[in-house]
Amino acid sequence: MIIERVSSGIPELDKKLEGGFPENSTTAIIGAFGTGKSTFGMQFLNEGLQNGEHCILISLDDDEEAMIRTASEFGWDFQRYVDEELLLLMKLTAIDIKTSILRIRSELPRLFELFGAKRCVFDSITLFEMLFTGENERRLIVYDLVQVMRNSGATSVITSELDSSNPHASRFGMIEYVSDGVIFLNYHRRAREKTILLSIEITKMRRTKHSRDIMAYEVHRDGIKITTDGAHSDIFKC
């Protein structure tokens, strides 16, 4: 069976993914703060919006106005898409855990169905996970959230912070197991050159023969750009 592919919004990344994310998959974008996770999410949505797809952006730290402002700095006109009812922006406030659980379990599935979203971004799962003190409750709700996204039929991106003591794991070590795909964004301090290099790698992507190259990327005024194809990945050895 041929798997439909959904462009990530980064052409060089799509080439390494047999054309893009598998349709209806959920991919975790894991990285330290400032590596470009939120930018990745917005770029992924902008790609769909340009093609007339319905998209949902759920943010835990930005309100609707801030999301529109940040996107506009990259030249992505989210306000226009909101006006056209193609884009739904949703700030998930940490009022209390019960409200959050209720919203995830009952409101969100209805919203997805009503809106007919093709793409969804959840930014970030870490802020959401931090609402829960009980490990079991946290695991159950993250599992539920991923199921809700999958059942909706949308192709999703979920951002996550890194674990401070393990650069190969998310903060709570859960999202990489329940997601279909995992992409890591890392930074490398180059003391001699007095600069920081950014690298992107695909760690997991179900139903895809993906590349395992470590690629350099930069965040530009118009979004994320991959600058090497992995052939020079030895530059990251430090």
Q: Which residues bind Mg ion (CB under 5 A)?
A: 38
Question: Considering the complex, what minimum distance in angstroms separates the CB of residue 216 from ligand ADP?
Answer: 15
CB neighbour burial string for 53-73, b if at least 16 within 10 angstroms, e if fewer: bbbbbbbbebebeebbebbee
The item of Mg ion, ligand ADP, none sharing an interface with residue 39, based on CB under 5 to 8 Å by kind, is ligand ADP
Minimum distance, C-beta of residue 123 to ligand ADP, in the bound complex (Å): 7
Phi-psi map region of 38: left, alpha, beta (phi>0 left; psi -120 to 50 alpha): alpha
Is residue 9 within 8 Å of 223, Cβ to Cβ? yes
Picked from ligand ADP, Mg ion, none, the partner binding residue 36 (CB below 5 to 8 A depending on kind) is: ligand ADP
Q: 74 is in the binding site of which of ligand ADP, Mg ion, none (Cβ under 5 to 8 A by kind)?
A: ligand ADP
Q: Which residues bind ligand ADP (CB under 6 A)?
A: 31, 33-39, 73-74, 219-221
- Closest C-alpha to 217, from 201, 206, 238, 204: 201
The pair of structure tokens assigned to 35 is 């590596």
Q: Which is nearer to ligand ADP, 60 or 178 (CB)?
A: 60
- At 134 the three-state DSSP class reads coil
Q: Which of 174, 173, 147, 170 is nearest to 160 (CA)?
A: 170
* Closer of 74 and 177 to ligand ADP (Cβ): 74
Please report, for residues 16, 46, 104, 109, 201, the alpha-carbon distance to residue 81 in angstroms, rounded to integers and kept in the order given: 29, 9, 24, 22, 31
Question: C-beta of 201: minimal distance to ligand ADP in Å?
Answer: 15
Instruction: Provide, rounded to whole angstroms, the least separation between the CB of residue 73 and ligand ADP.
Output: 4
Nearer CB in complex with ligand ADP: 81/217: 217
Counting every residue, how long is the chain? Answer: 238
Q: Which residues of 216-226 are buried (b: 16+ CB within 10 A; e: fewer)?
A: bbebeeebbeb
Q: Select 110 or 221, whichever has its Cβ closest to ligand ADP.
A: 221
Q: Which is nearer to ligand ADP, 21 or 76 (CB)?
A: 76
User: In angstroms, what is the minimal distance from the CB of 92 to ligand ADP?
Assistant: 16
Of 163 and 213, the one with the shorter C-beta distance to Mg ion is 163
Which are the contacts of 187, defined by CB distance < 8 A and separation ≥ 6?
A: 32, 34, 35, 196, 197, 198, 199
